[in-house]
């Protein structure tokens, strides 16, 4: 469950201190697609194979 929260916090949740960007966006990492959760899961499952 903690891993899911870390994904949410770092890749999906905009932060006021970062001018509405996620920490990943502030570092130059973007997630493409309408459903960012699904994209993250698909990318991770590709790594695991």
Domain count, the chain: 1
pTM for the structure as a whole: 0.72
Q: How far is CA 11 from CA 48, 49, in A?
A: 19, 22
Query: pLDDT tens-digit profile of 23-42?
Result: 999 999 988 888 999 988 88
Q: Residue 9: which domain range?
A: 2-48
Residue 49 has pLDDT above 70, yes or no: no
Centre a 10 Å sphere on the Cβ of residue 32 and count the other Cβ atoms it contains. 6
Confidence of residue 7 (pLDDT cuts 50, 70, 90): confident
């Amino acid at each position: 469950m903690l891993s899911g929260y870390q994904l949410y916090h770092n890749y999906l949740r905009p932060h006021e201190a970062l001018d509405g960007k996620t920490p990943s966006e502030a570092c130059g990492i973007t997630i493409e697609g309408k459903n960012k959760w699904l994209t993250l899961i698909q990318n991770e499952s590709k790594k695991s194979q």
